[in-house]
Amino acid sequence: MLRLIASASVAALLLAACSPETGAPADSPEAEQTLGGDDSVEPAMAFDMPGDFQLSYSQESGAANVSSELDPAIFAFDPELAYSLWKDAKSSLDEMMTQAAAEESAASGDPSWFRPYTMEISSKATLVLDDLISVEHFVAEYTGGAHGNYFMGGGVYRKGETEPMKLAEMIADEAGFRALVVKGLVEEKVNRGWEESERPVISSELGELLTPSADYPDVFDGKVVLQGSETAGLIGGVVVIFSPYHVGSFAEGSYEVLISAADLQPVLTPAWKDRFGGAPLPLAPN
């Protein structure tokens, strides 16, 4: 598969974040809060931006169409982080173009069985504070077959760092956090049409699926973004993101589980408890 953020595959990238050095978050519960998506932003840090950087990028050939979009709020928060995300995205797009060209050349038959490949990559800020930014990543690709696929994930970045922080820095009780995620997933599955009587079975299966193992110890790293709060300067909760196939069939689509600051309080590390508070802002419609 293709790389996005220093990973051997798009899926692995989005669902298993890099492991930066562990450190305590800056203690600023009164930090200014903004939401992503503002085009009228100014870079917050001095950085010698290489000339090939682009917030919006696209390339097209007979074999593939690829594009990327980077939220200007990320560049405003930390240009070096923005460039790192852009560089990794472009690497994946370039690799897709090369792969598609090779497949097109190798295609045989009349008419040819080959269909143009596509890939779209986007990174969007979900919450911006003075010292932290939460970024959601999305990748959609088509490489032949009955349908394309898409992958979702995200992470929380400190200013001046280009790798996301480990979830263990924020969550002290992993088992308690997992229980909250499973509860939210069960509710969402029932809302989507599963029978009420199936709750125990769904809960048991999800609990087993999301239990860490030797091969997959950090189940939720790369799947968590921050959600804004109705109280300015605080974090209203987290959103745990699951791509298709991870906790259900492709037909079920993706899942986004919102866990409020109030529900998170018992499982947070002491350094993070004061940073969460207030009611979470509602999730944006998909």
Six token digits for residue 91: 């690497």
Q: What local confidence, expressed as pLDDT, does residue 247 receive?
A: 87
The three-state DSSP-derived secondary structure of 12-74 is HHHHCCCCCCCCCCCCCCCCCCECCCCCCCCCCCCCCCCCCCCCEEEEECCCEEEEEEECHHH
In this predicted structure, what is the pLDDT of residue 145? Answer: 79
The per-residue pLDDT for 162 is 94
69: β partners: 56, 122
Instruction: Give the model's pLDDT for residue 34.
Output: 45
Tens digits of residue pLDDT in 108-124 = 666 677 889 999 999 99
Question: Which of 21-35, 112-126, 140-154, 211-225 is the least confident region?
Answer: 21-35
Mean pLDDT across the chain: 83
Is pLDDT at 32 greater than 90 in this prediction? Answer: no
Q: Are strands 117-128 and 64-70 parallel, antiparallel or unpaired?
A: parallel
Q: What is the mean pLDDT of residues 141-165?
A: 92
**In this structure, what token pair is assigned to residue 209?**
């699926």
DSSP string for residues in 81-146:
HHHHHHHHHHHHHHHHHHHHHHHHHH--TTTT----EEEEEEEEEEEE-SSEEEEEEEEEEE-SSS
Task: Take residue 61 and report the two structure tokens written for it.
Answer: 């050939």
Cα distances from 281 to residues 156, 227, 254, in angstroms, run 18, 7, 20
Higher-confidence position of 74 and 192: 74
Q: What is the pLDDT of residues 160-209, one digit of tens each?
A: 999 999 999 999 999 999 999 999 999 999 988 888 888 999 999 999 98
Predicted TM-score of the model (pTM): 0.80
251-283 pLDDT per residue, tens? 888 999 999 999 999 999 999 999 999 999 998
Instruction: Please report the pLDDT score of residue 260 as a whole number.
Output: 97
Helix (H), strand (E) at residue 174 = helix 174-191
pLDDT at 51 over 60: yes
Q: How far apart are CA 141 and CA 119, in angstroms?
A: 4
Judge whether residue 27 has pLDDT over 80: no
User: How many Å apart are CA 101 and CA 93, to the nearest integer?
Assistant: 12
- pLDDT at position 186: 93
Average pLDDT over residues 219-246: 93
Dist CA 83 CA 95 (whole Å): 18
pLDDT score for 17:
33
To the nearest 10°, the Cα dihedral for 29, 30, 34, 35? 30
Q: Looking at residue 252, what is its pLDDT?
A: 86
Residue type present at position 144: G
Residue 110: the pLDDT is 66
Cβ neighbours of residue 171 closer than 8 Å, sequence gap 6 or more: 177, 220, 267, 268, 269
Top-confidence residue, 19 or 36? 36
- Please give the residue that has the higher pLDDT: either 222 or 8: 222
